[in-house]
Amino acid sequence: MIESTCALRHNGETLAEKAGNRKGRSVIEFETVAHSYSGGELLSDVSLRLAPGSFHFLTGPSGSGKTTFLKLCYGALVPTSGSVRLFGEDVRTMNRDDIALARRRVGVVHQDCQFLDHLSLRENLALPLTVSGQEALDDDANLKELMGWVGLTARAEAMPPELSGGERQRAALARAIIMSPEVILADEPTGNVDWEMSQRLLTLLIELNRMGKTIMIATHDLGLIRAAKNQVQARVLRISGRRLQLAGADL
């Protein structure tokens, strides 16, 4: 079992506390969080701590709030009530610069994989460096290494419309981690690819976890979760009835 992997409230006490595990810091922490859209509550009474180096799957039916939950995790949304802390700071007290700096520590693989069609793949991947004010050289060794790691070296000069679904998903992962974030949040990263490619993406995310990154994958694909069983210690979280539940023990 991963120590301090997560802590969900149960009868006023966290599951981690029930296990006697009260130590360890959190990279992301929710405290009785609720979030509403147009007067309707989507998430309610969510309390959770994500520890450094932990691995989670987030499940739940379409429309249950998985994407909203991930947006709360990186400060794109502010909770209607309760508190969300990113690296120890409450998002309500953070200004725009604070949020921007915190987001550099969180890589997000978005479900829709949007790229700038007038830029090559290499230029798209280097864009976060440019936006952050870092110099992105064409021959930067780290960028080349990253493209090799996701198997896209030969596609460096390809334009986004020329990429296959699997190539776009791998490119999205590469772009999310180019700033070397501590946390990687992936929203349905295998939703539009075949089983073989989904396994490759899962392997890449597991490798990142072995490097010490905190990983959360939102998915409705239970087969993907089962495939991870012998590769990584993970927890499965499920959104049901607006609440976040711990779906059993380690995989």
Instruction: Give residue-wise pLDDT tens across range 188-231.
Output: 988 878 888 888 889 999 999 999 999 999 998 888 999 898 88
Q: For 20-68, what is each residue's pLDDT tens digit?
A: 333 457 899 999 999 998 768 889 999 999 999 999 999 998 888 999 9
pLDDT of residue 209: 95
Q: For 72-110, what is each residue's pLDDT tens digit?
A: 999 999 999 999 999 999 999 999 899 988 988 999 999
Q: Where are the alpha helices (DSSP H) in 28-164?
A: 66-73, 96-103, 121-131, 141-149
CA distance 53 to 31: 20
Range 64-84 burial, b when 16+ CB lie within 10 A, else e? bbbbbbbbbbbbebebeebbb
pLDDT of residue 161: 95
pLDDT of residue 4: 32
Reply yes or no on whether the pLDDT at 158 is more than 90.
yes
Strands 89-90 and 40-50: unpaired
pLDDT of residue 88: 93
What stretch of H or E contains 17? helix 15-18
pLDDT of residue 11: 35
CA distance 212 to 204: 13
pLDDT of residue 115: 95
Q: Is 212 left (phi over 0), alpha (psi -120 to 50) or beta?
A: left
Strands 214-218 and 81-86: unpaired
Q: What is the pTM of this model?
A: 0.84
pLDDT of residue 133: 67
